[in-house]
Amino acid sequence: MRLIPTSALSLTVPLLVSLSLTPAGQSQNIPTAADREKLVQLQGIDVKGTRLPAQSIIRLSGLKVGQQVNYTMVDEASRKITSTGLVKMIDSSYDTYPGKPGIVLSLNVVDELPLFPVKITPADDSERIWQCLQTADPIFMREMPRTEKAISFYQANIERCLKNQGRSSENASSLVSCDPEGNPAEVVFRIRPSRAAPPRTGPPQK
């Protein structure tokens, strides 16, 4: 099962991408337009600063070691990651090493916080769906930020699990439950039958 990034939502997620094509530890001026389009070979990806699995971040980026990349492609890769709502921003840089071809892309990831427990109901469905999600990718943990994009990311992938189980007539609704003081306490996804389309009214179509 593939992950479904929810990049089409209107909610804006802050994105910080500051790039430099320099030997490791050295600084360089802001790249020109020509620099941004220059292709270089990607020799590695280093993920730092996140609770999320590094391989999950790389998979979401769509980048692969050995391909040619430029600044524009790295910007797009970062946008794909932040579109999940699990990540607040990414500070990216190119590192080069003497005597080695290509570059290593460093992704310093800042997670969205705070995190809240995640519950799937009814209980009879919970473990089967968690197994489906975590088999697809371990990025699906039982705690998450309550951003609109993160909730949509989980919801879309829960519904993909339902479809894979032959349950296309069901969907997942979401809500954030609160404690007695009114503070957010957990994110709940409810599995329920999809609403049937209302019957058509009016004269028959010719």
Strand blocks (E) in the chain = 21-23, 40-48, 68-69, 87-96, 103-111, 116-121, 143-144, 170-178, 184-193
Task: Say whether both 30 and 107 belong to one domain.
Answer: yes
Task: Say whether both 98 and 120 belong to one domain.
Answer: no
Is residue 32 predicted with pLDDT exceeding 60? Answer: yes
- Per-residue pLDDT band for 84 (boundaries 50, 70, 90) equals very high
Is residue 29 predicted with pLDDT exceeding 60? Answer: no
Task: Say whether both 101 and 140 belong to one domain.
Answer: no
| CATH code, 34 | 3.10.20.310
Per-residue pLDDT tens digits for 169-200? 999 999 999 999 999 999 999 999 987 545 55
Q: Tell which of 59, 91, 111 closes a domain.
A: 111
Task: Say whether both 31 and 93 belong to one domain.
Answer: yes
Within-domain flag for 48? yes
Mean pLDDT of 32-40: 82
pTM (two decimals) = 0.79
Is residue 86 predicted with pLDDT exceeding 90? Answer: yes
Q: Tell which of 87, 111, 135 closes a domain.
A: 111
Task: Say whether both 39 and 107 belong to one domain.
Answer: yes
Within-domain flag for 4? no
Helix segments in 38-191, DSSP class H: 54-61, 71-82, 123-136, 148-164
Within-domain flag for 6? no
Helix segments in 62-195, DSSP class H: 71-82, 123-136, 148-164
Name the residue range of residue 56's domain: 21-111
Q: Tell which of 111, 143, 159 closes a domain.
A: 111
Give me the number of domains the chain comprises: 2
Task: Say whether both 155 and 170 belong to one domain.
Answer: yes
